[in-house]
Amino acid sequence: MIEARELVRRFNEFVAVDHVSFEVAKGEIFAFLGPNGAGKTTTIRMLTTLLEPSEGQIFIDGLDVARHRAEVRQRFGIVFQDPSLDVELTALENLRIHGVLYGVSRRDCLARGESLLRRFELWERRNDPVKRFSGGMKRRLEIARGLLHTPRVIFLDEPTLGLDPQTRNQLWSHVRHLNETEQVTVFLTTHYMDEAEKVAQRIAIIDHGRIVAQGSAAELRDRTGTDSLEAAFLALTGAQIRDEVAEGSDFMRQMVRSRSR
Amino acid sequence: MRVIGILWLRQLIRQWRSRARIIGALGQPLLFLLSFGFGFGPVFARAGAGNYLQFLAPGVIGMGVVFSGMFSGMDLIWDKQFGFLRETLVAPVPRWQIMFGRTAGGATVAMLQGLLVALACVPVGFRPASLTQLPLALTFVALTAFMFTALGTGIASLVEDFHAFPLIMNFLVMPLFFLSGALFPLNGTGTLGVIATFNPVAYAVDGLRGSLTGTWHFGASLDLAVMGLVTLAFLGVGTLLFERVEA
């Protein structure tokens, strides 16, 4: 469903993503992990047509992302790291705008909107302005919105950041349920290793712009001789805090801002 | 068309829900109308220039439209900061449709704001000279609204945060307004009059004043021509700048 071939992204001299290749099968839940500044967000931006790769190719649902931008966009949903709802509007109004942007008919939008809002336990609050929602409710609404146009793939960039364990747990059970019932492929990033371990069927770990390991959580544990994904992650990426890399990533973000569209 | 329509509607809904903004946008034009209108009215009359309130009201209406239009454009900065812009930029629709929807919505809001100012001018004593000219006046309101919403959107495409907003108001919009002839007649002002010929707000104000009170400086056809061209240019440049906004 997603195929990245030898992806490279440079920002001047800085190589943010360095010959990254991976494949995500249809219906799979795939976790993309890495320390801050490792190249996760740059990779997601390339996969979602927001940033052009310096080298390499991406295929989503068999379509070359570079050549079929609009068709590819129609096929995925995305929940960004930062919120992207219109908080002045109601939940339903946010869905309605999304439906129009993605060419969903009014009737389908209402029917599917209702079933998604019910599933994410937001139906009762459908006519409330989003500014009155809690952080967890906003996240759920964003995921529901991302699924409204029945995408083949949904990208979730740190969707549980800043949520309490209950909300995180519930959110993942919704995502897993949708993955099972609709066969939607899930590409997620997170810093919570326990989540990745529980939810994802396959995991790739990126560090310094390169993929350092790929496989199921069990395979990564076995390979590193550790007993948890977190220990495996630290064994693979080192225990140092990435101050230097964080600066690199700030630099990178500035470059992204000034050079891309 | 559906995309442009829904983004247009969104701007209207947001404005309608924010009553404070509707009232707030009336404040400044009315302050000008009341203080200048009644303050300079007697001097104006003594100079033999007629009724100052009649002269000033069209300028103040124009001010309301210009400010609301710029402010609507600045909504873009808001949407950048609060993330909604990304939702539209990653959608499978051409950028120009997003820009047009936003601009049409913002311009409609600015027109409505201008009509509110016009209504508020009536109890103060303003009377349009001829009702048959009202459609022409509306045309000028619409052109002004589109022009400045497009300009605001274009500028907002270039800036990342709200800090730029007061700068733009103080160093661009206020000078354009004060040098437009909204507050004083341009006849016999020498250099000021020459400067005004390069100021799109001067044509907007002249168009409004002409159609509402029958007093023209540049004339209807020149006003329409200049404003039409400048509006198209701002829409074009605004669209180009919006194309370059990073999602």
**Domains observed in chain A:** 2-259 (3.40.50.300)
Q: Which residue from A minimizes the CA distance to B80?
A: A84
By C-alpha distance, which of B11, B56, B4 is closest to B35?
B56
Percent pLDDT > 70 in chain A is 92
- Assess A88–B contact: CB distance below 8 Å, yes or no: yes
pLDDT per residue as tens digits for the range A85-108? 999 999 999 999 999 999 999 999
pLDDT tens-digit profile of A217-235? 888 888 888 888 888 888 7
**Cβ–Cβ gap A89/B5 under 8 Å:** no
Residue A243, pLDDT > 80, answer no
Per the CB < 8 Å rule, is B244 touching A257?
no
**CB pair distance less than 8 Å for B83 and A84:** yes
Cα angle value B106/B221/B67 (rounded, 5°): 25
Whether the predicted pLDDT of B206 surpasses 80? yes
Asked whether the predicted pLDDT for residue A173 surpasses 80, the reply is yes
Range B133-160 average pLDDT: 94
Return the minimum-mean-pLDDT range out of A17-21, A250-254, B80-84: A250-254
CB contact under 8 A, A101 and B5: no
Whether residue A38 has pLDDT greater than 90 = no
pLDDT higher than 90, residue A72: yes
With CA atoms as reference, the chain B residue closest to A45 would be B247
Tally C-beta pairs within 8 A across A and B.
Answer: 78
The residues in A 6-35 lying below 8 A from B, measured between CB atoms, are none
Contacts of A125 (CB under 8 A, 6+ apart): A91, A133, A137
Q: What is the mean pLDDT of residues A59-70?
A: 91
List the single residue in A with minimal CA-CA distance to B17.
A88
User: Of all residues in chain A, what percent carry a pLDDT higher than 90?
Assistant: 50
Q: What is the pLDDT of residue A248?
A: 46
- Which residues are CB-neighbours of A196 under 8 A, at least 6 positions away? A31, A33, A188, A190, A203, A217, A229
Which residues lie across from A24 on neighbouring strands? A2
pTM (2 decimals)?
0.88
Nearest one of B185, B193, B194 to B213, comparing CA atoms:
B185
Confidence of residue A147 (pLDDT cuts 50, 70, 90): very high
Q: In angstroms, what CA-CA distances link A31 with A23, A69, A72, A75, A157?
A: 12, 24, 21, 19, 10
Domains of chain B, by residue range, sit at: 2-243
Looking at the DSSP bridge assignments, the partners of residue B132 are: none
Task: Phi first, then psi: give them for residue A207, nearest 5 degrees.
Answer: -150, 135
Q: Is the pLDDT of residue B204 over 90?
A: yes
Which residues of B have a CB under 8 Å from any CB of A? 2-3, 5-7, 10, 13-14, 17-18, 79, 82-93, 160, 243-247
Q: How many CA atoms lie within 13 A of B163 on its CB side?
A: 1
**Res A7 pLDDT > 50:** yes
Min Cα separation A97/chain B (Å): 6
Contact assignment for B6 to A260 by CB distance below 8 Å: no
Contacts of B243 in chain A (CB under 8 A): 261
Which of A51, A81, A101 to mutate: most B Cβ within 10 Å? A101
Beta-bridge mates of residue A153:
A76, A185
Per-residue model confidence (pLDDT) at position B99: 94
Has residue B18 got a pLDDT over 90?
no
Phi, psi of A233 (to 5 degrees): -60, -45
- At A242 the pLDDT is 66
Q: Which residues of B touch A60 (CB under 8 A)?
A: none
* Closest by Cβ to A88, choosing from B17, B93, B247: B17
Q: Does A98 touch chain B (CB under 8 A)?
A: yes
Chain A residues with CB under 8 Å of B86 CB are: 80, 82, 84
Contacting residues of B for A260, CB less than 8 Å apart? 246
Query: Looking at the complex, does the CB of residue A261 fall below 8 Å from at least one CB of chain B?
Result: yes
Of B6, B85, B244, which is closest to A97 when you measure between CB atoms? B6
Q: What does the pLDDT average to over A154-181?
A: 89
pLDDT for B31: 92
User: Under a CB-based contact definition with an 8 Å cutoff, are residues A6 and A57 in contact?
Assistant: yes
Closest Cα in chain B to A79: B87
Residue A75: helix, strand or coil by DSSP?
helix
pLDDT bucket at A246, cuts 50 / 70 / 90: very low
Mean pLDDT of chain A: 87
Give A-chain residues touching B245 at CB under 8 angstroms.
261
> Does any CB of chain B come closer than 8 Å to the CB of residue A231?
no
pLDDT digits (tens, 9 = 90+) for B75-132: 899 898 888 999 999 999 999 999 999 999 999 999 999 999 999 999 998 999 888 8
Nearest to B41 by CA among B128, B129, B124: B124
Q: For residues B163 and B154, what is the distance between their CA atoms, to the nearest angstrom?
A: 16
Contact B86 A84 (CB under 8 A): yes
